[in-house]
Amino acid sequence: MSSDAKPTRGAPVKSINLHVGEIEPGVAKVDAIIVADNVTRTFGGLTAVDVAHVEIPRNAITALIGPNGAGKTTFFNLLTGFDKPDTGTWTFLGKSLAGIPSFKVARLGQVRTFQLTKALSLLTVLDNMKLGAKGQKGENMFAALLPWLWRKQEEEIEAKAIVLLEKFKLDTKSEDFAASLSGGQRKLLEMARALMSDPTLVMLDEPMAGVNPALTQSLLDHILDLKTQGMTVLFVEHDMQMVRHIADWVIVMAEGKIVAEGPPDAVMANPAVIDAYLGSHHDQDLGEDDPETIHAMKELLDADDES
């Protein structure tokens, strides 16, 4: 990635014509990076995720939205190997990922961030960044004892980390413990750290949650910038302004299923989506509102937050 790429300002360039044929849930994409089929995950009697078919377009920004408890984060965890599905298969760049552990998924170029930011608090900001680099010789226990084997690579990694930190305006903090950063800065650090591995697909779980409004614009610019650099972004978000502003494609989940998808403006005109997000039933699930289901969903969401 080039160091002089300026974050995009003003109205982002939207990718269009991503789909093939009629727009409906599960529509085929011209160029899909992830294709998932029959992915289900149940917790006890509750079906958290039940996705029949979905494709994520390559080199575009896709938003995954839906009310609380819709199964977005669970679906995220399944795709990244942090959770195991009951059934289903999915491919990433044509390679089947079902049953592959999370660290191998990351090595294939699909990195993620977390809803509750996971900055490594008692490591310095710079060490956080360096940890993100792939294929480090010095991470082998025996090679670690022979510093001349990895010193040169370490210097390259450090130089790369400093360039990224400058871009994310964290360079002045590089020697501080990550614990001393603000919530928004930690989000930035987590994203920058993920970029150290030169990923193909970046998956962001609620990148805007808890971010100070002053940092929001900068975070949005960084996400748009990922696309300019040729990466694909999939993110979960509640903030509809953000979704409308930067997403090229929106997928709506409710009760574990994909209920709608399409370009942002079309999706937001969809009555079911309006009802869920902007209408009077703001806090309720789409579809039938069985009080027991809502209760179970809430418990599930709490469990998600703890994990």
Is residue 174 a contact point for other proteins (CB under 8 A)?
no
Please pick, from the candidates 86, 138, 244, 301, the single residue that binds other proteins as defined by CB under 8 A: 138
Is residue 154 a contact point for other proteins (CB under 8 A)?
yes
Please pick, from the candidates 120, 215, 272, 296, the single residue that binds other proteins as defined by CB under 8 A: 120
Question: Which of positions 191-220 make contact with other proteins (CB under 8 A)?
Answer: 193-194, 196-197
Q: Quick one: 140 or 229, whose CB is closer to other proteins?
A: 140
Q: How far is the CB of 202 from other proteins (least distance, A)?
A: 11
Q: Quick one: 98 or 131, whose CB is closer to other proteins?
A: 131
Is residue 177 a contact point for other proteins (CB under 8 A)?
yes
Is residue 82 a contact point for other proteins (CB under 8 A)?
yes
Mark 139-151 as b/e (b = at least 16 C-beta within 10 Å). Answer: eeeeeeeeeeebe
Is residue 113 a contact point for other proteins (CB under 8 A)?
yes
CA-nearest of 227, 292, 259 to 46 is 292
Tell me, by CB under 8 A, how many residues bind other proteins.
42
Q: Quick one: 62 or 197, whose CB is closer to other proteins?
A: 197
CA dihedral defined by 261, 29, 1, 204, rounded to 10 degrees? 30
HSE (CB half, 13 Å, CA atoms) of 13?
7
Please pick, from the candidates 140, 182, 217, 241, the single residue that binds other proteins as defined by CB under 8 A: 140
Question: Which of positions 87-106 make contact with other proteins (CB under 8 A)?
Answer: 102-104, 106
Residues that bind other proteins (CB under 8 A): 80, 82, 102-104, 106-107, 111-114, 118-123, 127-128, 130-132, 134, 136-141, 143-145, 147, 150, 154, 177, 179, 190, 193-194, 196-197
